[in-house]
Structure 1
Amino acid sequence: MFTVAEAPAFTGGHLARLAAGTLAAVRVPGFLDPATCRSVTAALDRLHTTPYDPGRVPTPVLRFGPALNDHRLPGGTLDADRYWAEADAARAEWHRAGIRPDPVAISLARLGAAWGAAVVPATVGGRATFGGTLREINAGLLTHYDDINREFPGGLFDQHVVAQLAFNLYVSVADGGATTVWRHRWDPDDERHRDAYGYGPGAVEGRQRVELPPHVGDGLLFHPGHFHAVAPNRGPGRRVAFAFFLGLTTSGHLVVWS
């Protein structure tokens, strides 16, 4: 039940099984070819990256593009003025950078083809959210989970999301940096193990898990409601990936955000 599927392309069945929790992850090797990965990586210097707030994410992570969770106010509401300003600025900067081929557009087109309908941005009050952050994670990430419905319990999107998936596309990797996904979702008892934005090892002790080392060009999908973590790099190099969330809605469509 909790296994990793490796396939030449994503399918609608993969997405459905991930949403249902009967697959741990799906990996498509060579989702983006090596030459395109090199071209994209070489062009990334044209983008302005910033670190996550160290008060919230103590491990250093560089990123381009805003994430909704970083603009969440106490009580689970959106800091709308700040978020929309950053989203508009990121879209303009991405357009100016002119990175071609566009790895985010390629990814969304292929995932939409797999599902049978185009992936569209999640919207808030009719405005399209930003989808497709770039993240450089060299020092790892703590064990954590992502769930838009818990992060914004009063609801955020115009659409109603019933299942959330996480997508990563690796354009540069280093030794190490594996993603571990545990067969465990949040339970109130986990708060005993709270550590900054994530959780200590006790929260997942004894749980079934899979390890997913990154490879250049890999496309990876998993259910981020399962606790997951990223190991630090073990040597020189950059672990760089484009990332976004997919939401399966009550209407059966897929929406995207970061």
Structure 2
Amino acid sequence: MSELQDVSTNASPIFTLFDSESVDRLTREHILRLMVGVAGAVRIRGFSSPQECADIMEGLDHREFDAYDENLIFPPIAKIGPAAYDFYGSHTLTEEYWEIADEARRLRGTLYHGADPMDLAVERIGRAWGHDVVPARSQGRDMFAGMIREIPNGAKLHFDEIVREFPGILDETPASFLTLNWYLSMPEYGGATRVYRRRWRPADEIHRDGYGYDEKVVENEPVAVVRPDAGDAVIFDSRNLHAVDEIGGAGRRVSLSFFLGASGRGPLQIWS
């Protein structure tokens, strides 16, 4: 495991990008460093093989993507599977959420030789964590995890923190929050993720820009920047403000994404 600062302009000895040579070298220690805030992001090279990615993308070639509500998320982001974010306005996960989740699981289960690629991701993270990886629960039911997303036009500066944005939806509140993005396809250039050592503050609301924030709120903040290859995965604390750059050239930016939460017990909880 090598430590490096990846095209970052603001050096910080306690907010760096850790670059793993392979998934087999990802350890519980790296995940814990993210949780306590002394690492900016962990890039796992070769989280999956090129052939695994090609097979999954072939399975996606003729699948129709849904999208977030463009009145809330613009530029548009295509996706397969429900996000809890889709239901914030309802103040609960409605029956529609569970129906969309069931359909997304069925579709995903056809993508990798009749198997679900999410099973690969869960097994590999569980091996590093050294304990079970289980669905988070809401209203006593297993939540959906493993959304497939395509982000061609970038994503605004934003944060994700379900207990702040959707309080009470999780049956058990995690103490730490991370997000994992497994990249199934990447374009020729662009599409980097920037993670800032900066949490949301109430005063940021004057800089609100749709679902995100004007980038002036992170001026001069330490940043970890990572531009993964297809087959890589990136993990970071989703409570830190982060953004995605627009893509360029040939190719698509497609990832399988989910959140991870650690509580006082051993298992990691996952949801999307």
TM range (shorter): over 0.9
Alignment of 1:189-200 (within 5 A): 189-200=203-214
* CA contact 2:111–2:117 (8 Å) conserved in 1: no
Q: Aligned pair 1:243/2:253, yes or no?
A: no
Quote the residue 1:165 is aligned against: 178
| Structure 2 match to 1:71 | 87
d(CA) in 1 for partners of 2:121, 2:108: 16
| 1:134 partner letter | I
Per the normalisation by structure 1, the TM-score is 0.94
Matches within 5 A, 1:207-218: 207-218=221-232
Superposed displacement of residue 53, structure 1: 0.7
For 1:204 and 1:222, how far apart are their aligned partners in 2? 17
**Partner SS, residue 43 of structure 2:** strand
Aligned counterpart, 1:60: 76
Q: Distance in 1 between matches of 2:231 and 2:111?
A: 20
Moved more, 80-89 or 134-143: 80-89
Q: Extract unaligned runs of 5+ from structure 2.
A: 1-13
Instruction: Name the structure 1 match of 2:237.
Output: 223
- TM-score, normalised on structure 2? 0.90
Corresponding letter in the other structure for 1:228: H
Helix, strand or coil at the partner of 1:255: strand
SS of equivalent to 2:247: coil
Q: State the partner residue of 1:145.
A: 159
SS in 2 for 1:117: coil
Alpha-carbon distance, 1:206 to partner: 1.3
Task: Provide structure 1 residue ranges, at least 5 long, that are not aligned to the other structure.
Answer: none
| 8 Å Cα contact 1:5/1:27 also seen in 2 | yes
Matches within 5 A, 1:1-258: 1-7=14-20, 8-9=22-23, 10-73=26-89, 77-95=91-109, 97-100=110-113, 102-153=116-167, 155-174=168-187, 175-258=189-272
Helix, strand or coil at the partner of 1:37 = helix
Percentage of matched positions with identical amino acids:
39
CA–CA distance in structure 2, aligned partners of residues 81 and 22 of structure 1: 39
How far, CA to CA, are the matches of 1:85 and 1:173 in structure 2? Answer: 30
Offset of residue 46 of structure 1 = 4.6
Shifted more, 42-51 versus 230-239: the winner is 42-51
**Counterpart Cα distance in 1 of 2:54 and 2:87:** 32
For 1:98 and 1:16, how far apart are their aligned partners in 2? 31
Q: Specify the code of the residue in structure 1 equivalent to 2:17.
A: V
Offset at residue 140 of structure 1 (A): 0.3
Letter of the structure 1 residue corresponding to residue 105 of structure 2: R
Query: Does the CA-based 8 Å contact 1:121-1:128 persist in structure 2?
Result: yes
CA distance in 2, matches of 1:92, 1:39: 17
More deviation in 202-211 or 237-246?
Answer: 202-211
Letter in 2 for 1:99: Y
Query: What is the CA RMSD across the aligned residues, in angstroms?
Result: 1.4
- Which residue identity does 1:92 align to in structure 2? R
One-letter code aligned to 2:205: E
